[in-house]
Chains A and B, each alone.
Chain A
Amino acid sequence: MQKVYSKIESIVGNVITVRARGVRNSELAIVTSQGEQSYANVIKLDDDLVSLQVFSGAQGISTGDQVRFLGVPMRVSYSENLLGRVFDGTGRPRDNGPSLTDNMIDIGGPAVNPAKRIIPRNMIRTGIPMIDVFNTLVESQKLPIFSVSGEPYNPLLARIAMQAEVDLIILGGMGLKYDDYLFFKDTLENSGAMSRTIMFIHTASDPTVECMLVPDMALAVAERFAQDGKKVLVLLTDMTNFADSMKEMAITMDQVPSNRGYPGDLYSALASRYEKAVDFEGAGSVTILAVTTMPGDDVTHPVPDNTGYITEGQYYLKGGRIEPFGSLSRLKQQVNKDTRDDHRALMDGMIKLYASYKESLEKKSMGFNMTDWDEKLLKYGRLFESKLMDLSVNIPLEGALDLGWEILSDCFEPNETGLKSDLILSRWPKKLNN
């Protein structure tokens, strides 16, 4: 059925309506306006009145433009050919490569049966000590990176994309500044990681509707690769822009807003994306790391708040570092017992000492006298921050643990660390010069 409709009844925001029969809900259509084509999808049917959301925006669309229904929902091509490529939110190439139309798969597919899920059991090594040691990322985990605008969240994602021990990286950019897009592209190309990366990029100047498609495209592709046995890491930035596009769409469609203008289904919309993270028994897995910027550093803002209820922990990016106190990987207990016998104890011990360092630092800033113990803590804190917390540090977990012992032995006597004696006996670095 390829009938062309050439009378548009109404144009409101990005939504147009035409009178047509036999159209399916969620079906894709092509709108041809002034020689240019844009995709649109059916979002509402009311007898013969069909509402369509135009992906490239309704600007310049005339009531006499043509609408052709395609009879299929939104799809994306799936094959090895996607690797190393960059696409926009509708799956058109953004690089100079050919457009891909073979083996099309539906996006936004059904949820995974909870009875088929398994308890997560494999860690993903990133080479970043604040993740590997202190808040381990686990296969099939979904974690947001809570951050304020201005923090280096995109460089962090790029580092993870380069270093993470996974088969495949899928980067979904939503509302990215064009500079940031180029940054990702250049960094990954220069590091050689581009060959295992697929990018779906929506930049801030692209049409809003396309922003909403990015996670679905990225996750649909990720899911298929995982079913084919690949360990996939999906990096999304920035989910707050995704939520804001949802808000924009909902309001132009006269939906009643629920909280600060966001639509009532914000939670469900975010959850259906995040819940795509899964470990397929006998096949691969999908892991999701998603930047969520917090407007005004407010974690109770609807987007980070709803996200927190969905995800399995969070990383807080503050002052250019992954903050050890607010950050939490809920799944770390599943894996850090099997890494190395000192992993858990060292993780707890070092964080406790770091907390004491913060107290000493506060005392110092208020002008109190510093005791010997305070001085030791201050030294420890400085070393900890520069050697482990700095985001540019790239060492494997075992190296990071060894470095941890190194730092402790540089600053403290063994009995001051609060660590168990048998661990100290086996792990405390033996110094030749004292």
Chain B
Amino acid sequence: MANTSGRVLGVNGNMVTVEFDSAIAKNEVGYIHVGDDRLKGEVIRINGNTASLQVFEMTGGIRVGDAVEFSGEMLSVALGPGLLQQIYDGLQNPLPELAKQCGFFLQRGVYLDAIPNKDWEFTPLAKEGDQLRPGDTFGTVPEGLFTHQIMIPFNLADVAWKVVSIKEKGTYGVRDTICTVEDAKGTRKDLSMIFTWPVKKAIKLYEERLRPDETLVTKIRVIDTFLPVAKGGTYCTPGPFGAGKTVLQHMTSRNADVDIVIIAACGERAGEVVEVLKEFPELVDPKTGRSLMERTIIICNTSSMPVASREASVYTAVTMAEYYRQMGLSVLLLADSTSRWAQAMREMSGRLEEIPGEEAFPAYLESRIAEFYERAGKVRLRDGRIGSVTIGGTVSPAGGNFEEPVTQATLKVVGAFHGLSRERSDARKYPAIDPLTSWSKYEGIVKQAKVEYARNILRRGNEVNQMMKVVGEEGTSVSDYITYQKSELIDAFYLQQNSFDPVDASVPPERQKQTFEVLFKVLATEFDLEDKKQVRSFFNTIRQKFLDWNNVESGSERFTQIEGEIHALYQGKQRGVDPDAEQLI
């Protein structure tokens, strides 16, 4: 079938209207011929025989009457072995390759193969005559740390396909035909290791979606204990500029206990991506002893790159995440920042002259955000294995005010909210997650009731602190003052974490549980302290002990020694134990 062609009718920013001659589909990709360049665009509106194309490049130089060629395919990404360790732009153009070809600048209209031409060691799993459905594995190749499954392309019709021929174990190019299948009608398909999938369509080739009930360990205390994230769950991190969103995401991307991390740098500073690009190959993943880069894919569409591909970049990222989930792996997708993605939608909506919603965001903002986060999930695949996609998105609210549409729409659909506060970051209390306003619906690594008890102390401590600002320390009772000091202790010892200290930078769950137990005993203690001076001096001493403890390696002699000292300290002043807490111990 010959592809549809058309010609340019008008240009407005990066929106091009095109008159076409036969059938085209919404979200189909078209190329505008400008001189020798072919500029990629996506159909986002069709009206009669004119279509609106959102062009992923700068539109300077386009003329009315320029030829347009439609590809017949929706905006897709290539999936196959070799995705890991890559650095892509929002349209899956490999940036290092592009740099080799075009130098310093991103030349428009250059589209390279997303998956490098490489040979892989193929091991067939299916044999001739097998009946397979899309998503079923017919062979494997080793990709770094993982066994990469070669599956029947998801885009084939969802019927049984009979394996007609399959290559023997051996080394084949990634684009070689390694298997041929046919359906009941005798239609044959030659399969390589690569196939494509439209980015805006969720991959749903699993048996059932499960409740996200397993904690995703990030080795960040305030998250794992107080505000946990679950494998297959979603969370968001809104915060004003300078509150440390990106630093927090980088910490997570390093330490998260998942198989694969996909970083989607969407409309943010290029410099921050560079840090990841240069650091990750050097950093060693403690779990595997290999370079962190081996489990990472970076999708990088920074703020100065074309807006329309920024809109596509989060979908590109989530599609790759779903692809690896299909192999029974756990994948973490970090999107920084979803506000920039929402702004890209707003720009497009404005050009389409749609009726604007709040703050000129399009009316479908909420449903798009919900759709995106709903692509996360823990699933049981047809062969019984479990895979998961977890999505964490930062939000950059205008003026640091969470009452804006993107934050609010996101809060409706996520399972955990880590709100960063300017106050905490100004006081250099990192990570600057506000423990009182943030919440999580997932289960953490420490028993819920104990965490609730600690959170209650934080809440009451905060109230006492507010009160003290009015009536002064003199007007506060000793017991209130103790509560305040307890809350300060939780904050200093447990909530804050020094990402520059080799020990404190990542705290494994066992250590979190152990240290939280000790902290909990202190919190539960009713103290025999007479006046505020005594209280202050006692808590100063014990806090210092706790802080030292944070920098000592687990299992070392010093570690046990400090633990003993802490026990001795609070037991020396113990009058009793809070009955509410006693049941929990």
Binding site for B on A (CB under 8 A): 21-27, 44-48, 73, 109-120, 140, 227, 255-259, 263-265, 267-268, 271-272, 274-276, 280, 300-302, 305-306, 308-310, 312-313, 328, 331
Contact = CB atoms under 8 A, between A and B. Distances in A.
Contacts of B271: 117, 120, 140, 312, 331
* Best-surrounded residue of B11, B62, B240 (most CB of chain A within 10 A): B11
Interface in B334-348: 340, 343-344, 346-347
A119 B279 CA distance: 10
Contact of B99 (A46, A116, A305): A116
Given A21-B64, A119-B274, A113 B102 contact: yes
Interface residues of B, number: 61
B406 to A, nearest CB: 12
A114 B398 contact: no
Interface in B294-317: 300, 302-305, 307
B242 interface: yes
Nearest to B61: A24
Contacts of B304: 111-112, 271-272, 274-276
Nearest to A308: B241
A111 B267 CA distance: 13
B495 interface: no
Contacts of A309: 241, 268, 396
Given A271-B304, A300-B400, A46 B9 contact: yes
Contacts of B557: none
B12 A44 contact: yes
A48 B43 CA distance: 22
Contacts of B96: 115
Interface in B42-80: 58-65
Contacts of A110: 58, 105-108
Given A46-B9, A115-B96, A116-B99, A312 B269 contact: yes
Given A22-B65, A115-B99, 6 more contacts: A22-B64, A111-B106, A227-B104, A259-B360, A268-B344, A275-B270
Contacts of B11: 25, 44-45
Interface in B1-58: 8-13, 17, 58
B399 interface: yes
Given A47-B9, A255-B350, A308-B242, A271 B303 contact: yes
* Best-surrounded residue of A117, A259, A280 (most CB of chain B within 10 A): A117
Contacts of A45: 8, 10-12, 62-64
A224 to B, nearest CB: 12
A387 B359 CA distance: 47
Nearest to A302: B398
A258 B359 contact: yes
A115 B242 contact: no
Contacts of B396: 309
Nearest 10 pairs of A and B residues by beta carbon: A300-B399, A271-B303, A275-B304, A26-B60, A258-B360, A115-B95, A308-B241, A46-B10, A111-B304, A45-B11
Contacts of B361: 258
B503 interface: no
Contact of A25 (B60, B95, B274): B60
B478 interface: no
Interface string B241-280: 1100000000000000000000000011111011101100
B356 interface: yes
A79 B63 CA distance: 31
A256 B356 contact: yes
B564 interface: no
